[in-house]
Structure 1
Amino acid sequence: MRIGVLTSGGDCAGLNAVILAVVRRAVLGYGWDVVGIRQGTHGLMQDPPHAIDLNDQVNSDGLLRLGGTILGTVNKGDPFHYPMPDGSFADRSSEVIEGYHKLGLDALIGIGGDGSMAILHRLAKMGGINLVGIPKTVDNDLAQTEYSIGFTTAVNVATDALDRLQPTAASHERIMILEVMGRDAGHIALFAGVAGGADVILIPEMDYDLDELSQHCLNIRKSGRNHALVIVAEAVKRDDGSAVTLGDDGQKVRYGGIGHWLADELGARTGWETRVTVLGHVQRGGTPSPRDRVIASAFGVHAVDLIAERKFDRVCAWQQRKVVDVAMEDVIVGPRLVDTQGTMVSTAKGLGAYMGHPPKVAKTAKTV
């Protein structure tokens, strides 16, 4: 057997741990060959396809600790609607499928988020590609899995940031606002907010009232504490429902700036000196957490075993403290949102954090 592996979408910690697990299970367990495809589906569009032999990585234990991806990745350039130099768009899906077959692959492991999975699923159906998926996204918003690769590392980074901001906030008697990633869902903000003792946790799934939020901060001051910590997901909107963005990258809106807008509003309403920290891509990089390494390793091994069992169009998932596999069509149903009635939200509120309230017209949350 000759199998390919690619990483697609935004990078995150733990991708190289997956690659290592795939190589070791395939080479040591089955005696197969493993080919790494460069820059996701872009690598398959090239003639010849951009790919490297990964068999010699079987002893590269440093991959377990290495952030990013040695294969490179892309988070734009849908092959079905590919941007061309003249500003037009073209369907280059047939080139991707042709690249897969040129490499003589028997199966492909695609590591990505819901957008990447949806594209790969469509390509597989069209081109006879034997596909197995592995979920990765710092936002942890894929359906059917409790954890995606990269999430816990991102939460660790955000929690560490809150731990570092707290003494500064106390020293200068300030409100410190931390803006974190979360394009559709607020899992990072919620988990880090609880772990880091945030006084305010704002996520896209819940509405908030600026007067209530300001009064919550003033009540903290009245209680005798001279500082407050606020964590907000990047996709949280202004109180009038408008999004705060940095423009777009040609294919999708780039969120950013809600932290600074919130600082201005809170400062004006409370008279409290306010500062903002935007973590941005810091959450994606660095050494993967132990949990991300464990889940990545489990996913990589299971994906290869699925190929050995000829079980395709499946995605590895983490449920009930073990790795399972689910139908890909059940994963690419849209983002898995925070359960506003769930344990994490009730815990945050029980600890005294202000989170606002569920919207009158609730977003449709996907189940695990």
Structure 2
Amino acid sequence: MRIGILTAGGDCPGLNAVIRGAGRRLLREGHEPIGLRRGYRGLAHADHMTLDHPALSGLLPMGGTILSTSSYDPFRHDDGPQRVRDAMARKDVDAVIAIGGEHTMEITRELHAQLDLPVVGVPKTIDNDIVGTDRTFGFDTAVHVATEAIDRLHSTAQSHDRVMVVEVMGRNAGWIAVMAGIAGGADGILVPEVDVTVEELAANIRRRHDRGKDFSIIVVSEGARLAFADGSSRKVRASDDTDEYGYERLGGIGAALAKELEEATGYETRVVVLGHIQRGGTPTASDRILATRYGVAAADAVLDGAFGTMVALDGSEITRIPLSDVVGVKPVDLRLLELAKTFF
């Protein structure tokens, strides 16, 4: 069989390890892995590359994706569904392994349901917010990067008696903020799931100063709301524009929060936006291993004919779940936020 492999949505540490795992498993079993460039666009527009042994060599430590990526959705283009049908009719590929996040799993689910496309999904996102899996690859690397940044900010914040606001990724769920905040010893954490008011944060910072702590570190998810004691709140957007598929462009909550905290406390406040630094570079050992396991499991699912499923981590075991169950966003475990509050 010719098995297409694609990476869609945002880039993420570990993508190449999944490609390698799936490709090597398929080659070992006598099948032909085909790289589909730029997500589902590669399937719809017949943009392919060979995934032979040389192409799959040396991928484990590489960030990004050798297949490139996009958020192309066939259902948002008039000719998209027919292009996918034509590709399958031409036998460009016999099945597809789709590696991506929430939006990619949604597309993959609909392609299976509406076009009967033989697909298997692999959950990818640094946000760790995909329903049905305990962990996504890329998350550990992002938390590691954010934690290292917080560690470095401690020394400069203490030296200058400053409040430092660290803005991390997390559009719909605050997993990175919570886990990096706990690991880095943050003094406040804001996530999309729960509003924390400027006044509450300011009071906590003042109490720290009263105890002799002249600096504070606040970690905030990009999707968190700027909230106040009067009950008002708002999301902060980088611009009023949306991307080509209608998703709002978030960003700026860190700067907005820093301004409010400085006015409320009188303490000098600076902001650091980690942005795409969290998504780039070499994956951690943990992410390489998880990504490899996912890749091999996805290839096995294809060979077993288990189409319409997504490979997932359940405890320590890799399982398969129906794509129809992968709906919505997995919110952060609020028990972790309560744990973090112990140290605020």
User: What's the TM-score bracket when you normalise by the shorter of the two chains?
Assistant: over 0.9
Question: Counterparts of 1:249 and 1:121 in 2: how far apart (Å)?
Answer: 22
Shift of 1:347: 1.5
Residue pair 2:198, 2:226 contacting (<8 A) in 1 also: no
Alignment-derived partner of residue 44 in structure 2:
45
Structure 2: gaps (5+ residues): none
**Partner AA of 1:270 in structure 2:** T
Question: Counterparts of 2:88 and 2:68 in 1: how far apart (Å)?
Answer: 17
Question: Counterparts of 1:311 and 1:139 in 2: how far apart (Å)?
Answer: 27
Question: Counterparts of 1:14 and 1:57 in 2: how far apart (Å)?
Answer: 19
Equivalent of residue 128 in structure 2, options 126, 131, 140: 140
**Partner AA of 2:7 in structure 1:** T
Structure 1: gaps (5+ residues): 83-89, 354-368
Question: Counterparts of 2:291 and 2:100 in 1: how far apart (Å)?
Answer: 12
- 1:68-102 C-alpha deviation (Å, 9 max, x unpaired): 00001012x422123xxxxxxx3522212322443
1:239-250 alignment, distance < 5 Å: 239=227, 240-247=232-239, 248-250=242-244
1:159-238 alignment, distance < 5 Å: 159-238=147-226
1:297-312 alignment, distance < 5 Å: 297-312=292-307
Alignment-derived partner of residue 357 in structure 1:
none
Question: Counterparts of 1:102 and 1:6 in 2: how far apart (Å)?
Answer: 18
Give yes or no for the alignment of 1:334 onto 2:328: yes
Question: Counterparts of 1:308 and 1:41 in 2: how far apart (Å)?
Answer: 21
- 1:289-313 C-alpha deviation (Å, 9 max, x unpaired): 1111011000011111112211111
Residue pair 1:184, 1:335 contacting (<8 A) in 2 also: yes
**Partner AA of 1:338 in structure 2:** V
Question: Counterparts of 1:179 and 1:27 in 2: how far apart (Å)?
Answer: 42
Residue pair 2:98, 2:120 contacting (<8 A) in 1 also: yes
Shift of 1:103: 4.2
Alignment-derived partner of residue 268 in structure 2:
273
**Partner AA of 1:20 in structure 2:** R
Alignment-derived partner of residue 291 in structure 1:
286
Equivalenced residues, count: 337
Residue pair 2:88, 2:94 contacting (<8 A) in 1 also: no
Question: Counterparts of 2:316 and 2:323 in 1: how far apart (Å)?
Answer: 20
Question: Counterparts of 1:266 and 1:150 in 2: how far apart (Å)?
Answer: 32
Shift of 1:163: 0.7
- 1:203-247 C-alpha deviation (Å, 9 max, x unpaired): 010111222210100111111111100100001112122110012
Question: Counterparts of 2:341 and 2:95 in 1: how far apart (Å)?
Answer: 47
Alignment partner of 2:53: what SS?
helix
Alignment-derived partner of residue 6 in structure 2:
6
1:251-270 alignment, distance < 5 Å: 251-270=246-265
Equivalent of residue 312 in structure 2, options 285, 297, 317: 317
**Partner AA of 1:68 in structure 2:** G
Question: Counterparts of 2:263 and 2:183 in 1: how far apart (Å)?
Answer: 28
Residue pair 2:24, 2:53 contacting (<8 A) in 1 also: no
**Partner AA of 2:25 in structure 1:** R
TM-score (norm 2): 0.95
Residue pair 1:186, 1:233 contacting (<8 A) in 2 also: yes
Residue pair 1:23, 1:58 contacting (<8 A) in 2 also: no
Alignment partner of 1:24: what SS?
helix
Give yes or no for the alignment of 1:56 onto 2:62: no
TM-score (norm 1): 0.89
Question: Counterparts of 1:104 and 1:242 in 2: how far apart (Å)?
Answer: 47
Pairwise CA RMSD of aligned residues?
1.3
Question: Counterparts of 2:85 and 2:206 in 1: how far apart (Å)?
Answer: 59
1:117-156 alignment, distance < 5 Å: 117-156=105-144
**Partner AA of 1:37 in structure 2:** L
- 1:301-330 C-alpha deviation (Å, 9 max, x unpaired): 111111221111111111111211111111
Alignment-derived partner of residue 360 in structure 1:
none
Question: Counterparts of 1:7 and 1:57 in 2: how far apart (Å)?
Answer: 19
- 1:169-213 C-alpha deviation (Å, 9 max, x unpaired): 011110011000001000000000000000001101011122221
**Partner AA of 1:144 in structure 2:** G
With over 3 angstroms needed to count, the CA separation of the structure-2 counterparts of 1:59 and 1:126, relative to structure 1, is closer
**Partner AA of 1:71 in structure 2:** L
Alignment-derived partner of residue 19 in structure 1:
19
Question: Counterparts of 2:171 and 2:249 in 1: how far apart (Å)?
Answer: 9
Question: Counterparts of 2:243 and 2:132 in 1: how far apart (Å)?
Answer: 29
**Identical aligned residues as a percent:** 43
Question: Counterparts of 2:56 and 2:119 in 1: how far apart (Å)?
Answer: 26
Runs of 4+ with >4 A deviation: none
Residue pair 2:312, 2:319 contacting (<8 A) in 1 also: yes
Give yes or no for the alignment of 1:67 onto 2:63: yes
